[in-house]
Amino acid sequence: MTGEFDAVDVGDSFTTSGRTITEADVVNFAGVSGDFNHLHTNAERMADSGYGERIAHGALVFSVVTGLLWQARDEAEKRHMVAFYGIDRLRFIKPVFLGDTIHVEAEIVDTERRDHPVATGVVRTEVTALNQADEAVFSAEFLTLRR
């Protein structure tokens, strides 16, 4: 793919590599975000919860998804990306536990030309993150500005 807006077609799809969510990820994310909610940081309390153990922050999962998508892009696509423009229909479908490995399946669902000083248009991508059991854990529509 050339990465240019005009080369993007509705129906184009790709799958990213996987990434395991680690203890360090959760601890570091809590420190960076200031979100020390017991759901993520208190193993003893969570052992007696409905989850049975700690879960990853939803915002951490979102961040990992954006990283996996970026890593899956070739250099031409990266050069033609102008900005992350927005997100619609974000859902955290199932919890992500420490030790889960997630990957992303993405499909272009719409393109829209825009009168913009830098970009040619907006690309709307349906994004689903799945765990190692191929269960959907996250979904959203990402909007990106592209040259």
Return the CATH architecture of domain 5-146: Roll (3.10)
Please give the pLDDT value at position 112.
97
What are the structure tokens assigned to 119, written together?
């970009």
Pairing of strands 81-92, 136-146: antiparallel
Count of other CB atoms within 10 angstroms of residue 124: 18
pTM higher than the cut 0.85 = yes
* DSSP classification of residue 97: B
Domain boundaries of the chain, sorted by first residue: 5-146
Pairing of strands 121-130, 136-146: antiparallel
Please give the pLDDT value at position 21.
98
List average pLDDT for each run of 10 residues in the chain, which is 147 residues long: 83 98 98 98 97 98 98 94 97 98 98 96 98 98 97
Please give the pLDDT value at position 1.
47
Contact 141, 62 (CB under 8 A): no
Please give the pLDDT value at position 85.
96
Please give the pLDDT value at position 2.
58
Give, in order, the Cα–Cα distances in Å from 16 to each of 39, 57, 66, 71, 72: 27, 21, 11, 8, 6
